[in-house]
Structure 1
């Protein structure tokens, strides 16, 4: 009897398997066509979307699935059979759809946010590069009193932060309090120029509150500060320029800048000048261009106070500037 029951159970199991296999055989083509149709719909939908929409939709899908995973964990713990997994499948489907839908509806806002983040990063990199390239410029007393530094900065040829050390400021104040009228006027002029530079919106000026008590000379303090800040010394002092170069410190010399931007006159060029002084040599007359360049004119002693046409014979570059030699046409 027991063998009969086991045989009957085996036959019933085989019949059920055969039945389901027959049903699957009949329904599988329709199921495959349905799945294929769904895939074609998805493919057509993706083709109709732009690459940005696909990226944003994928991002929304990922976020939706992550949230669904967190929510489904308590649902899977429900003791009722099949209830937890069924609810989890529903939650995954709903949140995946919501993630894609919400992301696509807000794609423009998301694109703007991403663009803003990218532009902020690029701007930060640009500022970092700019700061690295434009090192601090440390001004000495002579270049402040000279006054041309203000116009150079406002014209945009000198970028970066300008630093005025307190020991330079003290020296400038000491000159302004001098008993000598000429020194006093020069010191006050320097202080006035500093005030104008501080008030200018185009100039980044910083009073640097640090002194080197063990160093007595102001020029030596300037060089020590330039090394410490990895900056450049701005001056028109010839001796400070030489010492800084020997010390491997970058120097920006205002006089060298002025000489480099003066117009070049080649031998044979003609110009009209006013003879204003007598030269050191016999029969020489002196004239000056608007930029201060001195012109030595041969055989012009008797033309003092007159405007004459001259032709350039040669030019000489000296440490004090450029000299042009010419003769009367």
Structure 2
């Protein structure tokens, strides 16, 4: 028999999912035998994600966490994307408690997975672990392309730097990014969202000084230098593509990426977004042509080895639950 405590736990596992700038753009609605995940458009990123594909990828990540948690508690769970009468798409998880559902051990890594944004060690990832990452999901319409050799990564670097340059030359992008950086522990503890400066290895300087630093001293040139170091230290990159550029595939991509991230965590491999070439549409199109991609490249992830960083905060359950 379902209990409110179990349902709340399943939702809390969903909130551990990654999201762009850690915006946590979700709302959860509980109904009989189902949990719905709705987009919270108050937390959208109109500059970096104008079509909300990254938002729906985040919802897909949350859905996969919740499916794993549901299995852990003995539920059969199906995940569907539906559209309401306002033409807004959301995710519906249908739960059926059987008590005999086969458990997925990726569940054990939900609480310790993180997007690790620091500099990696440049140690190689074994071919068997590369294969495990590639085989971490099997969803029709979602493909993954791995870049692990120096030659492959060098070709990819061109697009990463171009995407970064375009973004940091855009004042609106910088303004949006700065609005989601939490420059002190006090600020992040109060808001419980956004990118905590400590998770990026930055000192706590407070919002006033942080704003000045980001707008006066961080430039396209300085970011390009920083990314060249990050790229050189990464063991490899994973580029995710979707067969169709629509909400259903965005959600499916999120589910695939979450399984990739949990598998990486299981293998003690760090990972983080390098999504600038996917976010800038002109760069995205050039990258698709360069690598002769049949699908749309919407997510780029670097991976390698590094120490853990402070964990990003999450909002409490009361803030993300909707009442029927």
TM-score of the aligned structures, taking structure 1 as reference length: 0.16
For the pair shown, the structure with the greater C-alpha radius of gyration is 1
Structure number with greater CO (CA < 8 Å, separation at least 6) is 2
